[in-house]
Amino acid sequence: MTDTTALAAMREDDGLDLNIESWLDEHWSPDISVAEWWTRLSADGLALPTAPPPHGRGWSRSRASELASAMVSRGALGPPSGIGMMLAAPTLLAHGTPTLIDRYVPKILSGQHGWCQLFSEPGAGSDLAGLQTRAERDGDEWVVSGQKVWTSMGQWADYGILIARTDPDAPKHRGITYFAFPMKQDGVEVRPLREMTGRALFNEVFIDEARVPHDHVIGDVGDGWRVANTTLMFERNSIGGEDVAAPSGALAGTIAGHLQRPAGSFANDAPALGGGMVGPGRVKQLIHLAEGNGSIHDATNRQDLARLHTLLQITGWHVGRMKSGNAATRSEGNLMKLRNSDITRLAREVSCRILGAGAMLTGPNSPSGGSAQEFTLFSPAPAIYGGSDQVQRNIIGERGLGLPKEPGPDRNTPFSELPKNG
């Protein structure tokens, strides 16, 4: 057997026999650096255990949940989070050359590189294929100019997954190329966008004749739309609830400065992406709050808490069906993302009802310690980012149900002849 085959076989066996508690006893210490802890996780395939060997262990969602629960119970820092783990690594594994995979994926899994997503533009959000950022070939490099917006974690990114127009005379969906783009260079300016939560998760990025090597192309030149759709599928699945990992307050990459801090120093830090996610922990928090102030006796609150629990359970089953290859439509990720929007809105409404007037107070001394209040402010975002609910319904209608597309120019019309977004 080759080394890779042997490692894959070993990890498949260990997926059944590895004692999670014993592994954590041996490897976790709050005194080691974040970099060392993430290196230990990635070296044993536990940074992303649901990934196939050699990068993960091919574990099921339930097995990965066991690891996450064990890490939470002892206060262990979760694995690297963010765009690298959620989007860049899966896309590279699906479309990257062996050289690109070897160059980038291990450093994503060990948190050495932070990544961002350079997709949306001021005039190309819902119509992403209408993007106008251009890349022109110059020998062994491409010269990129344009503007991106809503770039999550761009201020801390070493690299970005970038789509740019390389052939304006090709039809809109065919003249796009996908790059692994170095962020730390002249010609790249990142401006954080402050949200009403007080955080600055999103950014706008200005690119002025920045350069990216030709061997950083992911997929083929001009075939970036197909690769981008793979990324969007992973994004919708992740937003819909596919990822299972212990929370992490540390940021990956060389810019945030977290790698050399003690891993245990993040024990009381909020997750780096903020408190906008809804999972079983959120439901338990709301039940505890309702029991504490007596609002659990309100039948409407009990009914909505039960509905919230039910929707999360359905999401878990949905993910399991997808993992088993028994997906029923071509729009599973879109359906999951729509359900996540429903879950977020429901969690917001029931949390505000439970807190009453306390929902208008913020800070550590407010009810819920400010967690439910920050979530309420964040709650409109999931229905917008990763493709709005309206976009998801269009995709479900066209791809899942076979409904006719909305009228528009012929798909073979060169991009240069199309009217541009305002």
DSSP classification of residue 160: E
Q: Which residues are catalytic?
A: 235
The number of residues making up the chain comes to 422
Which residues pair with residue 163 across a beta bridge? 178
Q: Distance (Å, rounded) from C-alpha 238 to C-alpha 241? A: 5
DSSP classification of residue 170: S
- 160 to 87, 151, 234: CA distances (angstroms): 10, 9, 16
b/e string for 301-337 if b means 16 or more Cβ within 10 A?
Answer: beebbeebeebbeebbebbeebeeeeeeeebbbbbbb
Structure tokens at 309: 């629990």
Q: How many CB atoms lie within 10 A of CB 192?
A: 15
User: Among residues 231, 228, 315, 324, which one has the least CA distance to residue 280?
Assistant: 315
Three-state DSSP at 27 gives helix
DSSP classification of residue 241: T
The H or E element containing residue 229 is helix 224-240
Compute φ and ψ for 210, nearest 5 degrees.
Answer: -80, 160
Three-state DSSP at 90 gives helix
Q: How far is CA 406 from the centre of its chain?
A: 29
